Structure 1
Amino acid sequence: LEFVLDQEDPEPPQIKEETEEVCTSQEGEFVPKQDPDMFMLAPVDEENDQSEDETVDLNPDETDKNPNVGETRGNDFRQSCELRGHDNNVDEPYFCNMCGTRFADRGALRVHKRTHADEKPCLCKVCGSRFTNSSTLKVHMRKHTGEKPYLCNMCGTSFSDRSALTVHMRTHTGAKPYLCNTCGTRFSDRSALTVHMRTHTGEKPYLCNTCGSRFITNNDLTVHMRTHTGEKPYLCNTCGTRFPRLNVLKVHMRTHTGEKPYLCKTCGTRFRNNSALTVHMRTHTGEKPYLSALGSISEVNSTKV
């Protein structure tokens, strides 16, 4: 792992702090040296649906080989510390002067401040992506190695990070703890709710630098970019045709398999895709959505004559 230590942001003026030495852990992560008379480490294991930043997993074999590993990991930025020696029991004395978020230890505050400064000292040597801390880099590296250490005991599916397993388990339990206060729709994970809320707010944060189009999700932007690059990564193994989107390939495959999953409940006719069913339904409803537009054009032309 490669790290670049940039100049630290000044600490909040409300807190008087002494200059710290910076030491390097076994894995190369930069960690602040804490005063042993002030802090007692108390690791916290919390669920985080966005990432695995708040959890650091210890390999028993690794700990046995090096008894200092647990201690080093315990100083990880994302672990929580319980403050000793104060009668007022203030558990989170450090706060971000930019957004007000509070933290139990100075190191966690420093990592958080990188999100404001866009400081990402941890580098992935495989693809060049950068991250704010080593635990996030550790999870990212599994995309390259294919490692999936978290196993679902119900169906056997494995995942690269614990949060993904947590979300997956809700497909078995049916739990949808995240509620949209606007329309009442519920979601199994926070990220799905975040994306859904953009349908209400109209927010489209992902910009195409080529044509200026904006999109709700990064995946939508990725698919759109293929209209500019001509990339067609999805291959039909039957006939060799390539497609820019996976769902288009799936529809195409039905021409080979004969599958027609979309059923007209009125007459029983089946179709390969939903759009074909939608058009067919108009033969039953009598809907003619394009007639009014054509009629308006005819009226304009007759007026000109």
Structure 2
Amino acid sequence: MLQEPNETMQVMAPLISFDTLAVHEGVIACFILAVAFVGSLYLAPTNKPRDDPETIRWRMLLTGIVTISSPFYLLLWADRTTTEQGAELHHVLGIKTDGILTAIILPLLLTIVLYAGVIIHTLMAFASQSNSVLMHFNAYRLSFCLEICLRNYFVAPFVEEFVFRACMLPMLTASMGKWIGVLVCPLFFGVAHLHHLVEWYRWRQRPLVHALLITTVQFCYTSLFGLYSAFLFIRTGHLTSPVVSHMFCNFMGLPDIDTLIRSKYSMLLWTLYVCGLLGFLSLLVPLTDPSLYYL
């Protein structure tokens, strides 16, 4: 006769931590992951510009493979543990359901506040039928190419946040401290965009100095966004938060500074941009309070 167990047996997922990861190991691990991600873009068997549909399809496939593989790579650097400092892999990656609606709504609202000036500027352009702003809007947000839409607004935000935030931040914050890790992590994201120099110089035929300038500006704003995104991930504990913010930022693009300067409402628009920035900074900490996300 079989004896029934006295306690319900539960299969627990292994807990992991990065408590023994040294600073140089965390940096090396993230560097390898960044190189793998960017390197995969150039494994595509096509010799066409980055916005060509065939190039986009291949790059989405290849970066998707790196993204799927990255959690297993993460485990290579992790320690198995039974201590309270450990967590299940999906929690480490910010994949959870508790507080998911809050993790979508509040960070998105916060990002909308940051873009308040851009949004009002665009609405004013629609009302006045300003050709320059409408062309800017159509060119950077409402592309009719399915592949570009998929890449810019869905695939890129997810795979980049998964690899550069969910997989890198746990290693960096464990090895060098939470806030230093948040400051260092965006640098990998910014550097990962330097390869766009090839696109500007080779395919768009820009002079080398001009291509370098554009790439430098891109490094700066991608690093700044990476800082914001890393902050969201750490404060909310959700991968969803930086992903939805990334989607919205890609949709809005950068402000059209040239039109902003030449507009007859320039002073009003500058005021709106500044108010949006001040509103964003004032709400940044309250709307990312970890208690709102069940942390």
TM-score by length of 1: 0.22
Which entry has the higher C-alpha Rg, 1 or 2? 1
In terms of fraction of residues, the more strand-rich structure is 1
TM-score by length of 2: 0.23
Q: Which has the higher contact order (CA 8 A, sep 6+)?
A: 2
